[in-house]
Amino acid sequence: MTEQRAHYERGALPTEVQHEIARLEWADLVIFQFPLWWHAQPAILKGWFDRVLVYGGLYSGSRRYNRGHFRGKKAICSVTTGSPEQAFMPFGRAGNIVEWLWPIHSSLYYVGFDVLAPQVSYGIQGGGILYQKEAVFRKQIEEKKAIWAARLTTLFEESPIPFTGWEDWDEDGLLKQSHPIRWRP
Ligand SMILES: Cc1cc2nc3c(=O)[nH]c(=O)nc-3n(C[C@H](O)[C@H](O)[C@H](O)COP(=O)(O)O)c2cc1C
């Protein structure tokens, strides 16, 4: 983190990292389009977070969460999964997509983004483990593309996922006793 801060302040970050930061500064809305790999984003995207969201530049102790660098900007994950939607339903074998996406959503909020509910396109499995016939699969892909395209037209009007913020926490970072969702024994 010390190295990241020093390189940011000296303008000495790798060119491709500077380029990615400039693109983030320019954007009002950032769409992360990725396939679910091993219940998470692919490692290359995890690496993008590690390298691009630099300490001292895009976050610091006092610039995090709802005081984060990117506050006022929106971010959304558009995720494709191989497993079909039923497998992600309660008791489903594929688990809970909300839990799988919690780390990436938390990281986006950490740097200040308003995080929109994810666009999850289930059952995008053209090869490997097949769940239906090719023609049915092709038709479903077109339907899912149309759903996503329709949502894109009104994305800016959506309310973000509600997270708690600095005003909700005490000095230890715990939800204040007075907070409405604080569990009390
Ligand atoms: C390395 C790897 C890991 C994967 N892990 C998952 C997984 O955990 N859950 C799932 O539903 N699909 C998984 N899949 C299937 C992909 O999500 C699916 O193939 C992808 O979303 C299709 O989009 P694409 O054509 O853009 O790759 C995995 C695929 C690969 C190659």
State how far the Cα of 146 lies from the Cα of 124, in Å rounded to an integer: 14
Which protein residue's CA is at the shortest distance from atom 31 of ligand 1? 37
Atom index in ligand 1 nearest the CA of residue 79 equals 21
Burial 103-119 (b: 16+ CB within 10 A, else e): ebbebbbbbbbbbbebb
46 CA distance to ligand 1 middle (Å): 15
> 0.85 cut: is pTM over it?
yes
CATH of the domain at 124: 3.40.50.360
How many domains does one find in the chain?
Answer: 1
Numbers of helices and strands, H then E, in the chain: 5, 4
Atom index in ligand 1 nearest the CA of residue 38 equals 8
pLDDT digits (tens, 9 = 90+) for 60-99: 999 999 999 999 999 999 999 999 999 999 999 999 999 9
82 lines ligand 1 (CB under 6 A): yes
Contact by Cβ (8 Å): 69, 58:
yes
State how far the Cα of 66 lies from the Cα of 73, in Å rounded to an integer: 11
Give the torsion through C-alpha atoms of 94, 98, 102, 105, to 10 deg.
130
State how far the Cα of 77 lies from the Cα of 75, in Å rounded to an integer: 7
pLDDT digits (tens, 9 = 90+) for 142-152: 999 999 999 99
State how far the Cα of 60 lies from the Cα of 37, in Å rounded to an integer: 30
Q: For residue 29, is it within any domain?
A: yes
Give residue 129's pLDDT: 81
- Going by the DSSP 8-state scheme, the letter that residue 37 receives in this structure is B
pLDDT for 126 beyond 80: no
Q: For residue 93, is it within any domain?
A: yes
Stretch among 92-101, 121-130, 160-169 having the lowest mean pLDDT: 121-130
101 CA distance to ligand 1 middle (Å): 14
Q: For residue 165, is it within any domain?
A: no
21 lines ligand 1 (CB under 6 A): no
Q: For residue 171, is it within any domain?
A: no
Q: For residue 172, is it within any domain?
A: no
121 lines ligand 1 (CB under 6 A): no
164 lines ligand 1 (CB under 6 A): no
Pocket test for ligand 1, best of 32, 33, 34, 36 (most atoms within 8 A of CB): 36
Q: For residue 50, is it within any domain?
A: yes
Give residue 185's pLDDT: 65
Give residue 181's pLDDT: 87
Quickly tell me which residue has 């995080």 as its tokens.
115
Q: For residue 170, is it within any domain?
A: no
Contact by Cβ (8 Å): 82, 130:
no
95 lines ligand 1 (CB under 6 A): no
State how far the Cα of 62 lies from the Cα of 138, in Å rounded to an integer: 48
Give me the domain span that covers residue 62: 2-160
41 lines ligand 1 (CB under 6 A): no
State how far the Cα of 13 lies from the Cα of 18, in Å rounded to an integer: 6
Q: For residue 168, is it within any domain?
A: no
